[in-house]
C-alpha cells in the first residue's frame, strides 16, 4: 500500500464537506467517512485506478468518483506517496483550481489523524 498525504487545501475541503454531510444527511451520517476511507484505500492499493483528470492544469492528476457521496477525489502519484489535491462535488459545473501545494508539510488523511 502506498502512503497517502493530503494537501492543506484538500484537507479543508474534506473537513468542510464532512461537516456539511453530518449536519444534513441524518439517514446516513457515516456514509461520507466510509466512502472517503474506501476511496483512500482504493487509491492506496491501486494508485493507477483513477482516470486521468483532463479538466485540471496540473500534470499527472487522476481522479476517482466516490459514487455513494457524489464527490471526485483528485490525487497524483509522487515518488513514495500519493498526494490528495482536492475533494470536489460532481454537481459543480466548474473544475477545481489545482495549484502546486505550498511547501507546508502534507498531512495524513483525517481518519489516520483521529478525525
Predicted structure pTM score: 0.83
Helix, strand and coil content of the chain, in percent to the nearest 5, comes to 35, 25, 45
pLDDT of residue 48: 94
| Distance (Å, whole) CA 94 – CA 88 | 10
DSSP assignment of 8-26 equals: HHHHHHHHHHHHHHHHH-T
State residue 113's pLDDT score: 45
Sheet holding 51-52, edge to edge: 4-6, 82-89, 71-77, 61-66, 51-52
**What pLDDT, in 10s, does the model give residues 49-108?**
999 988 888 889 999 999 999 999 999 999 899 999 999 998 776 777 676 776 655 566
Amino acid at each position: 500500500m502506498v502512503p497517502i498525504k493530503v494537501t492543506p487545501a484538500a484537507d479543508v475541503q474534506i473537513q468542510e464537506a464532512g461537516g456539511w454531510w453530518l449536519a444534513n444527511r441524518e439517514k446516513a451520517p457515516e456514509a461520507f467517512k466510509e466512502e472517503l476511507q474506501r476511496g483512500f484505500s482504493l487509491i492506496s492499493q491501486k494508485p493507477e485506478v483513477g482516470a486521468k483528470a483532463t479538466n485540471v492544469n496540473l500534470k499527472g492528476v487522476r481522479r476517482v468518483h466516490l459514487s455513494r457521496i457524489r464527490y471526485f477525489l483528485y490525487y497524483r502519484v509522487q515518488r513514495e506517496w500519493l498526494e490528495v489535491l482536492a475533494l470536489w462535488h460532481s454537481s459543480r459545473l466548474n473544475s477545481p483550481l489545482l495549484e502546486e501545494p505550498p511547501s507546508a508539510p502534507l498531512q495524513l488523511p483525517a481518519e489516520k489523524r483521529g478525525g
